[in-house]
Structure 1
Amino acid sequence: MARLVPHGKFLLDGAQKFYIRGVSYGPFPPNSRGERYPEPERAAADFALMRILGANVIRLYVPPPPWMVEEAQRAGLRMMLGIPWPFHMAFLDSADMMREIRDVVRKTVLETRQFGETIAAYSIGNEIRSDIVRWHGPRAVSRFLAELRDLGKQIDPGALFTYSNYPSAEYLDLSFLDFISFNVYLHREEDFRRYLTHLMGQAGELPLVLSETGMDTIREGEEHQAALLSWQCRAAFELGLSGFIVFAFTDEWHTGGAEITEWAFGLTRRDRSPKLAFDAIAKVFRDDLPPLLTTAPKASVVVAAYNAASTLGECLSSIRELNYPDYETIVIDDGSTDSTSEIANQAGVRAIRVEHCGLAGARNAGVEAALGEIVAFIDADARADRDWLYHLVETITRRDAAAAAGPNFAPDPQSARAAAMAAAPGLPREVRAGDDRLAQLCGCNMAITKAALLEVGGFDPMFTTAGDDVDLSWRLVASSETLAYAPGAVVIHERRATLAAYLRQQRGYGVGEGLLFRKYPLRAADQDGMYAGPSWIGSLLGGARIYYGEFGRGLFQTVYSAGNSYADLPLTIQWIAISLIFLILGTVNRLLGVLGASGIALSILTGTASAASAPLQREYSGLIARIDLWILSLLGPTTRSLARESVKWRFEPGAAGGDPNGPVKLSGETEFVISESAAKIDSATILAAIRDALVRRGVAVAETDGFQSYDLELVVPPMIRVPINALRKDASIALLWRVRSVPRRALIAAAVTFVLLAGCFSLGAGIVGVIFAGLAVGLLALTRARRIPAIISACAAEVAGSLGILIAKRSEDES
């Protein structure tokens, strides 16, 4: 028996996962020695019965005498040792009470540290009342609990410390603990699974243990208790929790100076005769964990690799150890120039080499080759947890979902630089849409049914470096498919080792976001990004709110964040460029220089605030790591923004262009003649093909959702919109389009320019500035507008050729 160690979202006993299979024990009426536990003979018999149950941890609410710990050692049981103090009182209002609490923690750890590995963990508190937390404030309570944890660590550095929270104070920040514990009593399976999934997400990289659950057999009956605990126990481990503790081992219970006879939560009766729930729990405890799947469809694990020789070996080693009965591994070598193919072949997996086509194309090649019903994707620089595939497939099958994705965490940092890289902004992550649903999958850790992939057409090959997972997610959601959150499906994803590598990654993400803009130009600002994360400024300005409920007695009190789409505005290339222009103009007018300098200062301040608020590993949270993180926070979003805007504003090379000196065509019509052989082709098919052709040529195209007056609309920065409408005739489909501007944006730009210049120079200068700005914007719009008719014509010809239909020979109207 070795000491337990937290590692990612799981506990380890040596190199093996350790699942807490626990029961609570006591408190009891004092025995002949005045101890709040049974006589030694009774305790020894109870421990033997616990071993028959399959338990390996006893949760205690008061410190045990030494003989009891030794008896647990002989039985092969560990203890989760609760440290009692007045949780129900306003303890932070009394310096004396706080000192007494510290003394209790110090005394308990000092007296029991000799038992080492037998103490699975110390619980430094249990269910501080929600109204007390509300009164003191969550930050103050969290700080005090962190102080108790640090006090215990000073005495016994190798011990684990937790705190048993409950839903009414869920919002407490407990990230300083070794693992998170929650007492949850929910009796509907759907609610139970959804809430535990939510808690798994809230716990972040920490393991989660269900530290109390149960049912009273006096009111509910023994059969109901057995059925409830059976599915609860199985559900907890299926979701990826690290432990499940039943309240309680026996009906015998003494608390508050009185024997409790009105409740009977035990797995055994007061005389220790087992109830039906005893065997129900034993069936799960004594079996393999996580529980075996009732159905295990064949799965294919696809690794898209490009020059991945340095990391692919470890990735494939982790996949080889997966706890799943029927899967294959496919490596798609995307035209690598290093030894990627050789490493894949030596690993004994299916290795397919393709010409370099980019990330989405490589993943499509993997889907085409996959034999499994479910296709899982992991990056070549990631390592899968042993139960990664199990949790993805279990979630998809149980939820009848099209896809599932889990979290990815950085490896344990070995330096300040690595810690800063792990906390840098803009890293890949899944995006939650609720307790157990996702808005976006993350490509380094996701699984999708092959049927759903084929139904939506797979990955879009346009996304060569990033964005393919987000695009696929949006198309699946638009098809009313469920994207499920699988918090137990964990991968360890390497972060970039150098600043240059990190900036290349952010540049690739920016390109992906620019391409997403082309396909979805009218999505809201808080929807069009990749891997959207919480905003530091949101909490600073009050964006985060806690639900307390009436009189502060809400049963499920959590944090809700309104978010802030403009939190990183000072780090965008537009902000910085305008600030630099004003700074240069400061040579003419001092006030403009002040505005420019203020803009640059605000950018630096934003980066500083982001770096200061980002969580870092405790051992690497010093000045060097913060400086590294500050540099990353300044350069990363700016680089990403520059790449995103460069894609938004340019047409792709090779796109058709109009005569730069010719007249501007403001409207036109293309008529597709439907022959008998193409009679089944409808306007929707033609519009979809036109859209794809336009997007490939670098044009942003919005689709109607049924509420717009157009079928498609081209969005051409800075101020052009081109609606396209399909008109069905007897034997043809006509596409009508017209160019129009967006005066509202032009007016806003003119107003801002006028105010700035008028304030800095004079009213006349403001008017002149507005005129020049308007001319510049108009000239740019005119230049881009000249290319639109030719691009539409080229796309129409391409679509007609691919669909086998004709374009009517007719002149286009102009106005």
Structure 2
Amino acid sequence: MARLVSHGKFLLDGAQKFYLRGVSYGPFAPNSRGERYPEPDRAAADFALMKKLGANVIRLYVPPPPWMVEEAQKAGLRMMLGIPWPFHMAFLDSADMMREIRDAIRKTVLETRQFGETIAAYSIGNEIRSDIVRWHGPRAVSNFLAELRDLGKQIDPGALFTYSNYPSAEYLDLSFLDFISFNVYLHREEDFRRYLTHLMGQTGELPLVLSETGMDTIREGDQHQAELLAWQCRAAFELGLSGFIVFAFTDEWHTGGAEITDWAFGLTRRDRSPKLAFDAIGKVFGENLPPPLTTAPKASVVVAAYNAAATLGECLASIRELNYPDYETIVVDDGSTDSTSEIANQVGVRTIRVEHNGLAAARNTGVEAASGEVIAFIDADARADRDWLYHLIETITRRDAAAASGPNFAPDPHSARAAAMAAAPGLPREVRAGDDRLAQLCGCNMAITKAALLKVGGFDPMFTNAGDDVDLSWRLEASTETLAYAPGAVVIHERRATLAAYLRQQRGYGTGEGLLYRKYPLRTADGNGMYAGPSWIGSLFGGARVYYGEFGRGLFQTVYSAGNSYAELPLTIQWIGLSLIFLILGAANRLLGVLGAGGVALSMLAAAGSAASAPIPREHSGPLARIYLWIVNLIGPALRGLARERVKWRFEPAEAGADPNGPVELHDQIEFRTSAGAALIDSATLLVAIRDALVRRGLAVAETDGFQSYDLQVVVPPMIRVPINALRTDAGIAVLWRTRAAPQHALVAAAVMFVLLAAGFSLGAGIVGMVFAALAVGLLAITRARRIPAIINACAPEVAGALGISVGKRQEDET
């Protein structure tokens, strides 16, 4: 038995995962020695019964005497050792009380550190009352708990430290702990699973242990207790929790100076005779964990790889060790110029080599070759946890979902630079839409049913570097499919090793976001970004709010976003670009130069603030890592934004033979006709084909949501809109469009121009230059809009050919 360690989302005993299978024990009426535990013979018999149950951890609420720890050692049990102090009092208002609490932590760790591996963890507190947290403030309480943890670590650096929280103070920041413990009593399975899924997401990279749950048999009966604990225990481990502790081992319980006789939460009665729940829990504790799946459809793991020789070997090695009964592995070599294919062939997995057409096309090739009902995707520079595929497919089958995605974490950093890159902005991640639902899958860690993939047409090959996972997520969402969150499905994803590699990644992400804009130009600012990056167009006052409930007694007091903040604005390419323009114009107007310098300074300060607040491991959080992260925060978002705007503003050339600068037809129309005797083409199919063709040529095209007067609409920033409508005719379908200014955007542009002109009279030539710049932007939009009719006409033959119909100029009906 070795000391437990916390690594990633799990607890480890050596190289193996360790699942806490626990029961709480005591406190009891004082024994003959004045100890709040039974006599030694009784305790030894209890420990033997716990081993029969399959338990490996005892949760204690008061420190044990040495003989009791030795008895636990003999029985092969570890202890999660609680350290009592007045959690129910306003302890931060009393310097004496705070000193006594520190002394209690110091004394307990000093007296028990000799038992080493028998101490699974120290619990430095239990359920500080929510009204006390509200009174002191969550930051003050978190800081004090962090101080207690540090005090314990100074005495016993190898020990694990936790704190048992509860839903009414969920918002406490406990990220400094080795693992998070929660006491949760929920008796409906749907609520229980959803809330634990939520907690798994909230705890981030830290393991989560359910440190208390149970049922009173006096009121609910033995049978109900057994049924409840059986599905709760199984659910906790299926979701990926690292431990499950039942309250309590026995009905015997003494607290507050009195014997408790009105509650009976034990798995055994006072005489230690087992209840029905004893065998129910024992059955789950005795299984291999996580519990075996009731259904395990065949899965295909697809790895799209391009020049991935440096990392592919470790990726495939992790896939080979997956805890899943029926799966295949397919590597799609996307035209690599290194030894990617050779490495895959040496491992013995199926390898498909194709021309280099980009990420989405490579994934589609894997989908076509896959024989599994569920297809999982992992990047070639990622390593899967042993239970990664288990948790993805368990979530999909249980939720009847089309897809599931889990978190990806950086490997342990070995240098200040690696730590900074792990905390860099704009990294890939899943985006949650609720406790157990997702708004966006993350391509490096996702699984999708093959039926759902085929239903929506697979990945869009337009996305060659990034954005294909977000586009697929939005299309699945539009088809009313469920995207489920699988927090136990963990992959370790390598971060970019150098600044240059990181900037190339961000440029690729920016290009992907620009392509997403083409397909979804009217999505909200929050939803338009890849991985839901923050938008600078947000609410004036951002941050987070805590739901306390009336009188501070809300049962689930969690953190809610108050909306976007302008804190990200100085890091955008728009802000930085405008600040640099002001600096240049400062040669003509000193005030503009001051504004430009101030803008650049704010950008540097915003980057410094982000770098200072980023979570970096303490051993690497020195000045070097913070300076490196400051540079990354300053350059990365701006470069990503520049790449995004370049794609958004760029048109692809029209087909040969079309004059993109020809005369503008404000009202134009094309008619698509079917051959004689053929079935009439569906207008929805036609519009989808037109939209796809226009998007491939660089236009941003929005679909109607059913409340708009258009079927499609081409969006030309900042103020030009081209609505497209389909009209059924005798011969086929007529497609009509017209170019117009968007009224609200035109009004905003006019207001801005008026303000700039007014300011120009008082500030001089610098502002006049800005006015001309604004006019240039408007002229650019008009010039771009003039090209749209030619592009639509160029797309028409392509669309007609793909659908097997003819196309021609619509003849007006004679009336």
Q: TM-score range by the shorter chain?
A: over 0.9
| 1:575 aligned partner | 575
| 1:263 aligned partner | 263
Measured in 1, the distance between the counterparts of 2:539 and 2:4 equals 35
Measured in 2, the distance between the counterparts of 1:569 and 1:102 equals 43
Deviation at 1:265, TM superposition (A): 0.3
Query: Kindly tell me: are residues 792 and 558 of structure 1, through their superposed partners in 2, closer, same or farther at Cα, counting changes over 3 Å?
Result: same
Measured in 2, the distance between the counterparts of 1:609 and 1:188 equals 43
Superposition pairs of residues 142-541 of structure 1, within 5 angstroms: 142-533=142-533, 541=541
Deviation at 1:766, TM superposition (A): 9.7
Note if contact 1:670-1:812 (Cα within 8 Å) is conserved in structure 2.
Answer: no
Query: Kindly tell me: are residues 358 and 678 of structure 1, through their superposed partners in 2, closer, same or farther at Cα, counting changes over 3 Å?
Result: farther
* Structure 1 residue runs of 4 or more that deviate by more than 4 Å after TM superposition: 533-542, 653-658, 763-771, 809-813
Note if contact 2:721-2:742 (Cα within 8 Å) is conserved in structure 1.
Answer: yes
Measured in 1, the distance between the counterparts of 2:11 and 2:681 equals 58
Query: Kindly tell me: are residues 660 and 679 of structure 1, through their superposed partners in 2, closer, same or farther at Cα, counting changes over 3 Å?
Result: closer
| 1:607 aligned partner | 607
Unaligned runs of 5+ in 2: none
Measured in 1, the distance between the counterparts of 2:678 and 2:462 equals 28
Measured in 1, the distance between the counterparts of 2:304 and 2:503 equals 21
Measured in 2, the distance between the counterparts of 1:436 and 1:368 equals 30
| Paired letter, 1:392 | L
SS at 2:271 equivalent: coil
| 2:633 aligned partner | 633
Measured in 1, the distance between the counterparts of 2:9 and 2:155 equals 25
Of residues 214-223 and 657-666 in structure 1, the stretch that sits farther from structure 2 once superposed is: 657-666
Deviation at 1:575, TM superposition (A): 1.7
Q: Provide Cα deviations, 1:469-524, integer angstroms capped at 9, x if missing partner.
A: 00000000111110000000000000000000000000000000000000000001
Note if contact 2:304-2:332 (Cα within 8 Å) is conserved in structure 1.
Answer: yes
Query: Kindly tell me: are residues 766 and 557 of structure 1, through their superposed partners in 2, closer, same or farther at Cα, counting changes over 3 Å?
Result: same
Query: Kindly tell me: are residues 661 and 525 of structure 1, through their superposed partners in 2, closer, same or farther at Cα, counting changes over 3 Å?
Result: closer
Deviation at 1:773, TM superposition (A): 4.8
Superposition pairs of residues 38-77 of structure 1, within 5 angstroms: 38-77=38-77
Q: Provide Cα deviations, 1:415-439, integer angstroms capped at 9, x if missing partner.
A: 0000000000000000000000000
Q: Provide Cα deviations, 1:161-192, integer angstroms capped at 9, x if missing partner.
A: 00000000000000000000000000000000
Note if contact 1:8-1:207 (Cα within 8 Å) is conserved in structure 2.
Answer: yes
SS at 2:664 equivalent: coil
Deviation at 1:63, TM superposition (A): 0.4
Note if contact 1:537-1:567 (Cα within 8 Å) is conserved in structure 2.
Answer: no
| Paired letter, 1:428 | P
Q: Provide Cα deviations, 1:674-719, integer angstroms capped at 9, x if missing partner.
A: 2246414211111100000000000000000110000000112232
Structure 2 residue 108 is the aligned partner of structure 1 residue 95:
no
Q: Provide Cα deviations, 1:735-763, integer angstroms capped at 9, x if missing partner.
A: 01001123433443343344345435438
Note if contact 1:214-1:225 (Cα within 8 Å) is conserved in structure 2.
Answer: yes
Query: Kindly tell me: are residues 154 and 126 of structure 1, through their superposed partners in 2, closer, same or farther at Cα, counting changes over 3 Å?
Result: same
| Paired letter, 2:212 | E
Query: Kindly tell me: are residues 538 and 171 of structure 1, through their superposed partners in 2, closer, same or farther at Cα, counting changes over 3 Å?
Result: farther
SS at 1:404 equivalent: strand
Of residues 532-541 and 522-531 in structure 1, the stretch that sits farther from structure 2 once superposed is: 532-541
Note if contact 2:670-2:809 (Cα within 8 Å) is conserved in structure 1.
Answer: no
Deviation at 1:587, TM superposition (A): 0.6
Unaligned runs of 5+ in 1: none
Deviation at 1:731, TM superposition (A): 2.6
Measured in 2, the distance between the counterparts of 1:24 and 1:795 equals 70
| Paired letter, 1:279 | D
| 2:652 aligned partner | 652
Note if contact 2:536-2:569 (Cα within 8 Å) is conserved in structure 1.
Answer: no
| 1:726 aligned partner | 726
Q: Provide Cα deviations, 1:55-89, integer angstroms capped at 9, x if missing partner.
A: 00000000000000000000000000000001111
Query: Kindly tell me: are residues 763 and 600 of structure 1, through their superposed partners in 2, closer, same or farther at Cα, counting changes over 3 Å?
Result: closer
Query: Kindly tell me: are residues 750 and 767 of structure 1, through their superposed partners in 2, closer, same or farther at Cα, counting changes over 3 Å?
Result: farther
Normalised TM-score (structure 1)? 0.97
Note if contact 2:526-2:533 (Cα within 8 Å) is conserved in structure 1.
Answer: no
Measured in 1, the distance between the counterparts of 2:771 and 2:622 equals 52
Measured in 2, the distance between the counterparts of 1:220 and 1:698 equals 64
| Paired letter, 2:259 | E
Note if contact 1:525-1:565 (Cα within 8 Å) is conserved in structure 2.
Answer: no
SS at 2:225 equivalent: helix
Superposition pairs of residues 724-803 of structure 1, within 5 angstroms: 724-756=724-756, 758-759=758-759, 761-762=761-762, 772-773=772-773, 775-803=775-803
SS at 1:116 equivalent: helix
| 2:28 aligned partner | 28
Note if contact 2:5-2:11 (Cα within 8 Å) is conserved in structure 1.
Answer: yes
Percent of counterpart pairs with the same letter?
86
Query: Kindly tell me: are residues 534 and 729 of structure 1, through their superposed partners in 2, closer, same or farther at Cα, counting changes over 3 Å?
Result: closer
Question: Once superposed, what is the RMSD of the aligned Cα atoms?
Answer: 1.9
Deviation at 1:722, TM superposition (A): 0.6
Note if contact 1:30-1:36 (Cα within 8 Å) is conserved in structure 2.
Answer: yes
Normalised TM-score (structure 2)? 0.97
Query: Kindly tell me: are residues 58 and 534 of structure 1, through their superposed partners in 2, closer, same or farther at Cα, counting changes over 3 Å?
Result: farther
Q: Provide Cα deviations, 1:254-304, integer angstroms capped at 9, x if missing partner.
A: 101111110000000000000000000000001110000000000000000
Query: Kindly tell me: are residues 655 and 783 of structure 1, through their superposed partners in 2, closer, same or farther at Cα, counting changes over 3 Å?
Result: farther
